[in-house]
Structure formats: C-alpha cells, structure tokens
Amino acid sequence: MGERLSGRRVALVAALVGLMMAAMPGFGQGLARRWAAHGKALENGEVPLTILDLKQSGNELSGKLTGLGYGVDVKGTATGNHFELFVPEWDQKKPLIVGELANGELRWKQWSSELVAKPATAADEFPKLEYLEPPALHKVPYNGLAKTPPMGWNSWNLFAEKVDDKTVRTMADAMVSSGMRDAGYVYVNIDDTWEGTRDAEGNLSTNHKFPDMKALAEYVHSKGLKLGIYSGPGPRTCGGYPASYGHEAQDAKLYASWGIDYLKYDWCSAGNIYKNDALQPIYQKMGDALEASGRPMVYSLCEYGMGGVEKWGPEVGGNLWRTTGDISDTWESMIANIEKQVPTAPWAGPGHWNDPDMLEIGNGHMTPEEYRVHMSLWSLTAAPLLAGNDIRTMTETTKSILLNKEVIAIDQDALGKQASPVKKGELETWVKPLADGGVAVGVVNLGAVAASATVTVAELGLKGNVMARDLWAHKDVKFGGGKYTATVASHGVLLLRVSAK
C-alpha cells in the first residue's frame, strides 16, 4: 500500500514538473514554430532570409533550416533556454547551430553570422520559382582541357566573402613573383560572393567588389594566368547570391564574353528544387551551355560527391568533381577528405579528376609535417592542386611545400592514375603507378608517435633492382634486399619515387 502511494506521489510530482517544464521557454513546445531571421546584407545589398521551422517533443528538436542558398533537415536538443541543432547530413558530431531563446526571440550563431529570429509572418517566404524539368540525358563532348589535374589558387578557404578585384590582381602578381605560375599553378579562381543582381532580362551583374570582370580577366591573362569563376545550378549560391537556375546559357555566354577559363558549379540551393536523381541532367545543362558558349572552360562540379558523380562526371562534360564535403584547416578534416577519395580511384584519368577539395597548406592550423602529408596525398591521388592560402605573404616553409617540383610531378604525371592505399593501419601506404613504369609511394603516419616504415619492392608491383628518391628530402635512397626502411614522424610522410633500374 505504502509503496503504491509513494508510487502515485512520484507520478504526480513527475506530472507537475512536466507541466512546469512545458510552460518554461525552451521546454515542451517553447521552440516549436516557424522562425524567420533577416541576416546581415550581402555584398550585393540583398538581405538574406533564414527560416528555421522547428518541431519539439520534450527536449528533442527536429525541423528544417532554409536559407537562400541551402535547405537542410536539422535535429537537436533544448536545455532550458539553450538549444543546439545538428545537420545530420553534414556533421553528426558538431552542431551547426548553438543558440538561445530570450524575450520571444531565437538567437544563434551559424558559420560567421549572428542571427536573431522572430516568429515568421506570412511575408517571410522565399520567392516561388517555376519548376524546370531536367533535360533528357546525352553525352556532352569532352572540352579537351585538364589533361592533368588543374592547378591554381582559389579564394574561398582563406578569404571567403572578403575577396575583391584588388585581392585577385595582387594574388595574380604574387603567383608570378613566387614562382607558383611557373610551377604549374595557372588558374586564379574567384569563388562565391562576386555576384550582383539580375536585371529584368536576366542579365547578371557583378557586385561592388568586382567593378569590371572583363578588365580583370585581361589583367590576369596578361600575367600568363587564367581566370576562374563560380556559380551553381540552383537559384542561389551557397552564400545566397544569384546562381544560374534557368539562366545557364545566358551566364555561360557572359563568362565567355569576359574571358573566363574555369567554372566551379556548386549544387547549394538546387537541393531545394531537385532530388539527387536529377544531379546528372542538371549538371549536363551547364555542360551544354559551356560548350555552346564557344569558349573552352574547365568545368568543376561541386556537389560534395553525391549520386556517384565519379561515374557520370565526364558524361556531362565535367573535368573534375568534388568527392567530399568542405575541407577545413585541420588534420582531421584533411584526412577525412582523402579517405572519402579512396573508392573513386578507378574513375580518375586525363581530362576528368576526383577532387577532395582545395588545399589548406599555409593557412596556419596544421604543422609543416601535416601540410607535407596534405600535399603528398593530394599528389598521390592525382587531385587538383588549388592553393587556398595567401600567396602574397607565404613563408619559406609553405613555399617549399607548394613549390616542391618533384611532388608536383607526381600529381601531374601523364598516366593520370589515382593512388590507392595498399596497406592500412597507423602507417598507411599509398601507391600510384607512373607513366615511366615506376611508382610513387607514400607512407603516412596517422599515429601519435614516430614509427619505422618499410616499403618493399614486391608491394610496389616492381621486380628486381630499383632506383628510388625521397621527394621531401630531395635525395636518392637505396633499397637493400628488396626493401627500404625509414622513420616517419607522427603525422608525417615518407614519399618516394621508385623505378626499375
């Protein structure tokens, strides 16, 4: 009896606490509604709208986050007034949003913006767009470019929205004076945030940061370099700027008229309109438009490796395609990206490359050893080498990594094979066959302490006596008894070029 009574009391207290919690902001249904935030104005003057449509069950949150350039499912928890939300599709460990509810407003930090949301009104809507049927599939002819993986520089990793005409001109100067151009880094690529607005005829302008794109292209060309630009198949880029939805042919002609040499085409808001089964026809649309523009432009597909892109990339005229989400300047991110590159190896070859994202070398958050691993793995896997650092102020150490010609030669090898790991574990061995019949071999130490690595002639698929060179030490080394042993630092690499004598 006593037990039953106390059981009832517990149930009663629990119910009361439940009621109190439901009445407290952040608990019960406190966060469940459609929230609208009007963020900081973009470079083209537009004020971006963000909608967070939340459902709540106890402390559990779920819903959809939509910005101009993306739309994703979110999941998370509320604790008191605080809440955090993950985008499971992007990252299950790190919340995208951490925020709080105060005075009827929801505040959170998302990327570099602080957003303040109020309950959405009927006016807080994204413009309704006509659904454009994806075209039937056909083969877009190869444009003859990127016979070896593209090399150059891209503005995004370091500058993000802070790139402008002057930055690009001074970077082009530095590409020449630093020796980057002569080492093969010829593309100077402007990423997102150059876009202005569309006029009534759909013609796209540049924003105030790029007063004259044609003149900029002429300047970059006068330095013996090439100019790249950025757009996407959705109505908006990931940064919320106008992209090419319904304007593919018009935009391709515009780029050609400016003298553009390279287009990075980023899925972003196309995901709000199309499912992944439309990836191929939608990328084909811009492939056709580039071909029809009459100016050969390297076509870089940026859709984070979705929908088996490595299998159909060349069909849509693609010269390279991302195999991963965005890289950041950390060892974990860099290694995670190269691991995702592994299954795509059979599809790399002259004219069409798997892209584990741009380089972070010289951006300051990895050690020189780790950046040597980054450069080695990108070269072994025949990845595009797009530097993402400030070329104008690079240190001698950064230069020695980006400008190591013997390593660049591995990346640019004419055979165009992508290395695969032949041994996994703390010491990972990658082997890349080369045009001269030899191989490049890299042993990466993923562990926390230095380790002794042995490379055998047999695992390289070679026979008899071999010649070998250590590409970071810049010296010839000797295989004895069919093997070579060296100590590899933690988060370091041994990179050899080996050929039969």
84 membership: H or E segment, kind and range: strand 82-86
Count of residues engaged in binding ligand GLA, rule: CB under 6 A: 9
- Residue 333 DSSP SS3: helix
Which of 192, 310, 329, 413 contacts ligand GLA by CB under 6 A?
192
Q: Are 327 and 333 in contact (CB under 8 A)?
A: yes
The residue range among 22-30, 105-113, 235-243, 306-314 that interacts with ligand GLA, by the rule CB under 6 A, is 235-243
Stretch in the footprint of ligand GLA (CB under 6 A) among 121-129, 232-240, 394-402, 423-431 = 232-240
**Cβ of residue 157: shortest distance to ligand GLA, in angstroms?**
8
Please name every residue paired with 343 in a beta bridge, in sequence order, or none if there are none: none
* Binding window for ligand GLA (CB under 6 A); candidates: 32-40, 234-242, 282-290, 404-412: 234-242
Stretch that binds ligand GLA, among 111-119, 236-244, 380-388, 429-437 (CB under 6 A): 236-244
Give me the torsion for CA of 435, 148, 314, 389, rounded to 10°. 140
Element (H, E) at 157: helix 156-159
Residue 329 makes contact with ligand GLA by CB under 6 A: no
DSSP annotation of 413 reads: -
Our finding on whether 237 is near ligand GLA (CB under 6 A) is yes
Beta carbon nearer to ligand GLA, 229 or 408: 229
Contact 41, 19 (CB under 8 A): no
The single residue among 239, 281, 314, 492 that binds ligand GLA, judged by CB under 6 A, is 239
Residue 192 designated active-site: no
**Tokens 């026979």 map to which residue?**
463
Taking the complex as a whole, the smallest distance from the CB of residue 385 to ligand GLA amounts, in Å, to 15
Catalytic entry in 53, 124, 173, 326: 326
The reply on whether position 156 binds ligand GLA by CB under 6 A is yes
- Within a 10 A sphere around the Cβ of 284, how many other Cβ atoms? 22
Give the shortest CB-84-to-ligand GLA separation in angstroms. 21
- Tokens (6 digits) for 495: 């990179």
Considering beta carbons, is residue 191 or 251 the nearer one to ligand GLA? 191
Among 46, 195, 251, 266, which residue sits at the site for ligand GLA (rule: CB under 6 A)?
266
- The nearer residue to ligand GLA, 156 or 472, going by C-beta atoms, is 156
Residue by residue, what is the 3-state secondary structure of 350-375?
A: CCEEEECCCCCCCCCCCCHHHHHHHH
Q: Do the beta carbons of residue 388 and residue 158 sit within 8 Å?
A: yes
Beta bridge partners of 34: 53
Q: Select from 77-85, 218-226, 231-239, 291-299 the region that touches ligand GLA (CB under 6 A).
A: 231-239
Burial class (CB in 10 A: 0-12, 13-18, 19+), 20: exposed
Q: How far is the CB of 150 from ligand GLA (least distance, A)?
A: 14
Q: Is 191 among the residues that bind ligand GLA (CB under 6 A)?
A: yes
Q: Which of residues 283-312 bind ligand GLA (CB under 6 A)?
A: 302
Asked if 54 is part of the footprint of ligand GLA (rule: CB under 6 A), the reply reads no
> b/e map of 305-315 (b: 16 or more CB within 10 Å)?
bebebbebbbb
Q: How far is CA 160 from the centre of its chain?
A: 12
How far apart (Å, rounded) are the C-alpha atoms in residues 150 and 370? 22
Q: Which is nearer to ligand GLA, 344 or 445 (CB)?
A: 344
Helix (H, G, I), strand (E, B) or coil at 153: strand
CA-based angle 482:484:486, to the nearest 5? Answer: 165
Query: What residue spans of 270-324 are helical by DSSP H?
Result: 279-293, 309-312
Interface with ligand GLA, residue 431, by CB under 6 A: no
Residue among 173, 326, 406, 459 that touches ligand GLA (CB under 6 A): 326
238 binds ligand GLA (CB under 6 A): yes
By rule CB under 6 A, what string of x and - marks binding of each residue 438-477 to ligand GLA? ----------------------------------------
In the complex with ligand GLA, the residue whose CB is nearer, 103 or 112, is: 112
Q: Which residue, among 272, 374, 280, 262, has the nearest Cα to 327 in the 3D structure?
A: 374
Q: What is the three-class DSSP state of 235?
A: coil
Active site residue 326: yes
Amino acid occupying residue 157 = N
Print the binding letters for residues 98-137 with ligand GLA: x by CB under 6 A, - otherwise: ----------------------------------------
Q: Nearest to residue 70, comparing CAs of 339, 259, 337, 268?
A: 268
Selected catalytic residue, list 192, 266, 355, 413:
266
Residues marked active site are found at 266, 326
Binding interface with ligand GLA (CB under 6 A): 156, 191-192, 237-239, 266, 302, 326
